[in-house]
Amino acid sequence: MARLLRMPEVAANATEAVLSEWVVAEHAGFAAEATIATVETEKALVDVEAEASGVVLKTLVPPGAQVEVGAPIAVLGDPGEEVDDLAALLAELGVAESDRSVIRERSDVPDPEGGTASTSPSAPPVEAAPRATDAGRAEASNGRVFASPLARKLAKAAGIPVEEIDGTGPRRRVLRRDVERAVASRSARPEPTDVATVGRPAYEDVPHSRIRRATAARLARSKQSAPHFYVRATVRADALVDLRRELNDDAEVPVTLNDLVVKAAAAAHLKVPEMNVIWTDEAVRRFSTVDVAVAVATERGLFTPVVRDVGRLSVTALASEVRGLVEHARAGRLRQDDLEGGTMSVTNLGMYGTEEFAAIINPPHAAILAVGAVREEPVVVDGALAVGRVLRLTLSVDHRAVDGVVAARWMQALVDLLEHPVRILA
């Protein structure tokens, strides 16, 4: 029996998501629990799995479409089922003609022509149906070109008249991807030198990705709502470096210094449980297990997948978990639940030679630990100067959930663990 597949609420309180890819093509069958499609949220790619075996009778949206949660995205049938009159079936399933064009672009950017486009699911269409001209562009009978507010903004920034862009959206509406394609096409062409522009600084506007927008909004809210304070420490890292070398002798999964820091941070949480908390409007929520997020830089943006119950993991098991999450992040295969939970993050710029830095707390976490590079520096040993390895750490803390004395005790415990790293293995 034919049934609709609707855009799921893949993240809490999400109102829309992007249909990233159809894994099962039209008229192809699938098994129960098989992945039919992948959906992109602002943070991750999520697999949409089949509840039962069947066949994809018709896909209603193309890859790249931004769709409201609950909107129909495909018609599914029982195994071997076929449909002769698709239009009649859609009508029978209650899919109105207006529901069949559910492609939407993110419209939380002010329209350069004035106002901000509404993202409300109940917002009525703001344009009449356009007709395709001989040039293939979307024009209404009055000559107006239809384009999303974001597409207009990007086209204006790129200096490309929206009338010159071929639209690929519903009824040939110009969308963001159309503008990006037009910009790329122009960039590929050699441009004549304009004497009037000689001496002006050259620049390029790179449109914001969904990940970049989400990261910017999240961290801006963090700095605005969470009063940050900072605790810094310098660690003698000689024993830590030596332990890592020993662990990696004939190891199947190499252990990084960052793995040891993550493990030590979890151990410090167990020693100072007042740090293993998050702030909510009603209470400070304290957790019994320690989940730690690890910052991962990718071409698509910054992700912070969460390692669960770090305290129960051996160092090698932790290294394997972290490596798997990093690979998934860089391949764009993180699940939504990989990015949810935890009470603190660990971010490391030491591999770039950064000695010390402070990071912004990743909501709803109560803290983030910034890890610098291990460096050889003069140190004092028994009253005499010597050369030793040092590591600088900066802990950013949400003062609503954690007091300064608690953060200081936690940092003291962390430094002790890192300077006596065999205790991390206990």
What is the 3 state secondary structure string of 141-210? Answer: CCCCECECHHHHHHHHHHCCCHHHCCCCCHHHCECHHHHHHHHHHHHHCCCCCCHHHCCCCCCCCCCCCH
Query: Are 407 and 272 contacting, i.e. CB atoms less than 8 angstroms apart?
Result: no
DSSP result, 25-76: -TT-EE-TT-EEEEEE-SS-EEEEE-SS-EEEEEE-S-TTEEEETT-EEEEE
- The residues, any chain, with a CB within 8 Å of residue 318's CB and separated by 6 or more, are 259, 262, 263, 307, 310
> CA-to-CA distance for 310 and 321, rounded, in angstroms?
10
Q: Assess whether 399 carries a catalytic annotation.
A: yes
Catalytically annotated residue among 208, 228, 399, 420? 399
Q: Counting every residue, how long is the chain?
A: 426
* 286: β partners: 277
> CA-to-CA distance for 193 and 215, rounded, in angstroms?
38
3-state helix, strand, coil in the chain (%, to 5): 30, 25, 40
Query: Are 39 and 7 contacting, i.e. CB atoms less than 8 angstroms apart?
Result: yes
DSSP result, 108-127: -SBPTTSSB----TTPPPSS
Site of tokens 């199947």: 252
> CA-to-CA distance for 386 and 382, rounded, in angstroms?
10
User: Does residue 8 sit in helix, strand or coil?
Assistant: coil
> CA-to-CA distance for 16 and 71, rounded, in angstroms?
9
Locate 169 and state its tokens.
């959206």
* Exposure letters 55-75 (e unless 16+ CB within 10 A, then b): bbbbbbbeebbbbbbebbbbb
As annotated, the active-site residues are 399
